[in-house]
Amino acid sequence: MTRALLAAALLATCAMALAAQNTPMNKLAERYVKLVLAMGQHDADYVDAFYGPPEWRKEAEAAKRPLAAIDADAGDILSQLAAAPAASSADELTRLRHQHLTKQLQALRARVAMLQGKKLTFDEESRALYDAVAPTHTEGDFKKVLAELETRLPGQGNLIDRYDGFRSRFVIPKERLDAVFKAAIEGCRSRTLQHVELPANENFTIEYVTNKSWSGYNWYQGNYRSLIQVNTDLPIYIDRAIDLACHEGYPGHHVYNVLLEKNLVRDRGWVEFSVYPLFSPQSLIAEGTANYGIEVAFPRPERLKFEREVLFPKAGLDPKLTDEYYAVQALVDRLSYAGNEAARRYLNGRIDKAAAAEWIEEYALYTRPRAEQRVRFIDQYRSYVINYNLGKDMVADYITRRAGDDERKRWNAFEELLSSPRLPSGLAPDARH
């Protein structure tokens, strides 16, 4: 590009950003960002990421707006959005933007009501906050899988103890953890970069932490940077290396946030995406894409090969055991909805904390310390649990309908979803948009 062309392009970009800031939609979006920051004063977990103007956060801290005022303001923005729907001639992203802002504000109001003491059932809460309801299951659904595991892991004693014994051979030794994670991230990153163009300065740092209710976390910092934290409270099994590296990093949360910043915040000037309220529909898309992204980057045969040739040796584990380990894990993965069921029963008041941990141990096959960690997670994040497995299934279904088995189409559809403000209800086959 010549210097003159570059200057013209820069001027055009500045003009576009300036024009974008003056539209009525952008004014409403700015008010929304400020409301999310105001919510952060009442709820420490609410603002997961914010990289807009730092003075907006300072204003929110100084003002400490009461919940009732936040709710009234959200109601006013919603009325204005309803009065000015996106033009039917507008492009798809612009129409999705309008729906997205509306649902995010409705979820914000639901969270305000909860903080004010309103009681919702598990399903009412997940619909209000995440725009989705998880299917219900009975003990019988999980017993079939548990019976298969009984045959796979024969021997004396309880199944959970046999599974724990089996799995203890696949722990990453602490002194090898960092090397194994770095290799896993490099594997996830290089596969992602073959298909998705990312800004040259995108980057992340890893920290190892303790005393958390989660096993990994991505804190997006803006400017294409993430802080990825890995919790080392409990032993970390070899399958967690790729799972966490893809989920928190590539093509999961880090890439999702980078693409939103690049495509929506910077290129379009849509400021509402510079803030990420955790208890909102955006979380189902975030967790669902992060979990499905593991399979996008590593389809099963490629994953087994990478585990056998790279990660098992790096962790000092016997590569000959790779297939056996992943065959058992595939069965255990089919128990994941048992965690939702325990959360539903516990949060609906049908069972207490101890019974919830027992349920998770028995039907999701978590050892007791892990089940107790999971209950702490449920206490902190409540119906958020559905975003992982239901979110993954909804995203998988949406991408598969578009791409079938074609790898290139799958990456394209995945990147498009990561770069758009599509809602969870917009993933359904009959969704209107």
For binding to Zn ion (CB under 5 A), which residues are involved?
Answer: 287, 290
| Cis bond before residue 53 (omega within 30° of 0) | no
Would you say 94 and 86 are in contact if contact means Cβ atoms under 8 Å apart?
Answer: yes
Q: How far apart are the first and last CA of the chain?
A: 38
Q: Measured from the CB of residue 181, what is the shortest distance to Zn ion in angstroms?
A: 16
Closest distance to Zn ion from the beta carbon of 237 (Å):
18
- Looking at the DSSP assignment, which residues form a beta bridge with residue 219? 227
Contact 397, 424 (CB under 8 A): no
User: Which two tokens mark 185?
Assistant: 């991230």
By beta-carbon proximity to Zn ion, the closer residue of 222 and 313 is 222
| In the complex, least distance from residue 156 CB atom to Zn ion, rounded to whole angstroms | 38
- Output 287 or 362, the one with its CB closest to Zn ion: 287
The distance of Cα 219 from the centroid of its chain, to the nearest Å, equals: 12
Q: How far is the CB of 194 from Zn ion (least distance, A)?
A: 23
Whether 327 contacts 359, CB under 8 Å: no
Nearer to Zn ion, 271 or 378 (CB): 378
Under 8 Å between Cβ of 230 and 206: yes
When the beta carbons of 202 and 287 are compared against Zn ion, the nearer one is: 287
Which residue type sits at 87?
A: A
**Residue closer to Zn ion, measured from CB, 71 or 239:** 239
| Closest CB 107 distance from Zn ion, rounded Å | 18
Spatial contact of 163 and 324, defined as CB atoms under 8 Å apart: no
Q: How far is the CB of 12 from Zn ion (least distance, A)?
A: 36
Looking at the Cβ atoms of 129 and 290, the one nearer to Zn ion is 290
Contact 390, 284 (CB under 8 A): yes
